[in-house]
Amino acid sequence: MSRRYYTEPPTQGNIPDFLKKAYLADHMHNLIQWAKLEYTAGMNYLNAHASMRTIMYFQQEVSAMRVLAESEAFRELLELLNEQNYNKLSHRERAFIRRAFELFRALS
């Protein structure tokens, strides 16, 4: 991993791609929950250790969607994503994934 995380991102382990695709919807759900938890942990750390100016900057520029978009696990997820897996998600999870993908494209 190229960056330090406050909480480790969920992984699917060392299993074949066809099995990863079968359980990708569950993995996407876990990644969304992880991104929200990671964002909250990061903001809590900043609240305890950073200046108010830094906290305000991060509140304006960083979100849980951006945390997901910049993670390595999201890049792997995009390679395996297909319509069948995407349709298994709830409406809110789909919107979260779409917006994270838009951020991923904008940041790339």
Tell me whether residue 63 is in a domain.
Answer: yes
Is position 26 within any domain?
no
Reported pTM: 0.89
Residue 3 located in a structural domain: no
Q: Does residue 12 sit within a domain?
A: no
Q: Is residue 17 part of a domain?
A: no
Would residue 8 count as lying in a domain? Answer: no
What is the C-alpha to C-alpha distance for residues 28 and 98, in angstroms, rounded to an integer?
A: 12
In a domain, 103, yes or no: yes
Residue 100 lies in a domain: yes
Q: How far is CA 3 from CA 6, 8, 30, 87, in A?
A: 10, 11, 19, 31
What is the number of structural domains in the chain?
1
Q: What is the rounded distance in angstroms from the CA atom of residue 95 to the CA atom of residue 92?
A: 5
In tens digits, the chain (108 residues) has pLDDT values of: 457 889 899 888 888 888 888 889 999 999 999 999 999 999 999 999 999 999 999 999 999 999 999 999 999 899 999 999 999 999 999 999 999 999 999 998
Structural domain span for residue 51: 31-107
